[in-house]
Chains A and B, each alone.
Chain A
């Protein structure tokens, strides 16, 4: 019954989920598709977990029910685990190979999670794991990690590569267009080997 293609983007406040949402929404406009989205603003952005919902072809509300996301794009590993139940059983997970240890771990003296451990726990979701930091640096700026992730996710989205590239061009600062387009291309190449 669901008409929309539902994307959940998760990460840590400050990682650029909102720009990611802008790129996907702009691409929908370019393709003439309706779109709905919901974002985290305000104090929760101060280093907290953030989630952004985007519903391509959405015409009703902006919220994706847990278990209904067609794709989860995680900009951080712990957040990937935290939100993976939002994915449908067939859903795709595109995950940044980036671990940001929450300060609560040190404050409460919990065991410090390791990348290997988190990847192991994620493995039954068969995630497409992308080293966005390395690719962003290769593109020319560590700040383009979120666009690397859009590129990596682009293979799965019902949006053309052309529309997404044009959307990147429109949404990022003019001086950074080339770097961001390079980041997009590197991300897209990197996910070629995923399922």
Chain B
């Protein structure tokens, strides 16, 4: 028993090792990525691990391993579960023979996500058990337990931490790393694994019959606890339960829900001992709906009567305010903070100095002036600040939205951007569809050889697999041609003149045109030891036209009508091609 100060995701990864996990898959996505990053970079390698190309692929690989009797883990962010939802729904019917834990990390407040969906809804939809930890230690303990729970029930278990669990830190008591790995073996059983109508009708009935067993098993494992202290009560789940503990007065009862579906008997027994119950949970009112169903005469407060918010994340201060509103506290125990200084310049995340995306966006804007620019999910979504991102909805949708806009009759050029990892994730189908259906559009694949935004995980373009083993070469050009695209060209965004020339040629063509803008991510390049000479502005030649400032590189500063280049410069040299006065060149140029 060792105590360490760990990130939630590191504690979750360690618990998987303690459970002797045999098979790990996932697709990176904030806030889930560090689980596999921890497993692939540290510790034992006596089990299978992969970064998959998307969440559906990851889920199905792990499901197969669990069918073969292994303990499998599959990780993703909440929106990844949408991609994996097809196999998720039916895996509840087939069940598994090994243990299968599906981690779907939710992101209340959408710190780094396109929506705030609640994975607990998927568990309810699929009729699968769901574990929802309220702290880092509990997340660790739940995962250690989840594999055996999955094996006992013969079902996948959905584990749903939120950002404030995954990216929180805590002192955590860890157990011993296990080493008893299982070799997979598929045992043929068509009635279970071939879901033709005759089989699936039976399997659906069996899943429904399992529900009371799930509820009973979860209750026995003690994931839900409570303390009766008065005639009013709070019921909370997830990280909110820890905020409740911070502010709850001693005469108010509390209950904490850590597993779903909730045991209705237990809930009814708790609720009916109180005159008033306040339900506190982030996102969807899952607990509240269960409470309202069994409330009887007890007054219930929650989202449905406007006591708590439907969106965003909570914190101790907002929970205290809800307590005041419900009459549980006379006033908040926290001070009224001074107001934030809103006059300060904002500091949103920006593309790095030397990022290939900025150069590519610049070239696109230069060649396609009045175009529509659908884009996708990655660092390059920050191209919004450069006016070259008109749409972003979900992984892979840049290409499909582009073809849709083109077919809708809009006569402008449509130029979409998509990263290498996103293209391989769900972009290929859209490209095939666009070529097949005769769309007239340009696709720019931003190939920086890595899945950068989530922490530089390798992908098929990186030339190596999750643990660094070399992988077979993959050709984006060949993939695009095989999809039926005739115009496929590759250009280096640091060679701005060439990229612009290639884009111009693409503009003159009809049909689907693909340009692959290829240059390693500037962060990966720096880590790999690539050094380029920084640039400098010749103050005498600088006319103060601020063309370089409009380029938006954080290394370029502007003061007293002159530009200058600061220490962030990575030496990409693109600004030198932009400067109309020829005032930018390598530092120390005579």
Contacts and interface: CB of A to CB of B under 8 A. Distances in A.
Max chain A Cβ within 10 angstroms of own Cβ: one of B337, B550, B552, B559: B337
A21 interface: yes
B171 interface: yes
A143 interface: no
A49 B170 CA distance: 23
Nearest to A23: B5
A16 interface: no
A120 to B, nearest CB: 13
A41 interface: yes
A44 B349 contact: yes
Interface in A1-21: 1-2, 12-13, 21
Contact of A88 (B243, B317, B333, B335): B335
A158 interface: no
A38 B348 contact: no
B96 interface: no
Contacts of A39: 7, 167-169
A46 B31 CA distance: 15
B215 interface: no
A60 B246 CA distance: 6
A132 to B, nearest CB: 15
- Category for how many chain B residues contact A: 35 or more
At the interface, is chain A mostly helix, strand, loop or mixed? mixed
Contacts of B337: 65-68, 85-86
Nearest to B315: A63
Contacts, number: 164
B556 interface: yes
Interface in B448-481: 453-455
Contact of A38 (B167, B333, B379): B167
Interface string A99-117: 0011111111010110000
A124 B169 CA distance: 33
A21 B169 contact: yes
Contacts of A63: 164, 243, 315-316
A21 B349 CA distance: 21
Interface stretch (A26-34, A148-156, A172-180, A183-191): A26-34
Contact of B350 (A34, A46, A88): A46
Contacts of A101: 345, 557
A121 to B, nearest CB: 8
Contact of B336 (A67, A82, A84, A102): A67
B112 interface: yes
Contact of B243 (A26, A35, A44, A61): A61
Nearest to A3: B246
B436 interface: no
A81 interface: yes
A41 to B, nearest CB: 5
B338 interface: yes
B187 interface: no
Contact of B549 (A41, A78, A88, A107): A107
B164 A85 contact: no
Given A43-B112, A43-B379, A61-B164, A104 B347 contact: yes
A33 B382 CA distance: 41
B5 A47 contact: no
A44 B346 contact: no
Contacts of A1: 333
Given A25-B171, A42-B111, A63-B243, 19 more contacts: A29-B3, A34-B171, A35-B169, A39-B167, A39-B168, A39-B169, A42-B112, A43-B379, A43-B382, A48-B350, A60-B245, A60-B246, A61-B316, A62-B170, A67-B336, A68-B334, A89-B335, A107-B550, A112-B557
24 contacts: A22-B5, A28-B171, A36-B169, A37-B5, A37-B168, A47-B352, A48-B348, A60-B245, A61-B239, A65-B315, A67-B336, A78-B345, A82-B341, A82-B344, A85-B338, A103-B554, A104-B345, A104-B346, A107-B385, A107-B550, A108-B345, A110-B345, A112-B559, A113-B345
Interface of A: 1-2, 12-13, 21-22, 25-26, 28-29, 34-49, 54, 60-63, 65-68, 78-79, 81-86, 88-89, 101-108, 110, 112-113, 121
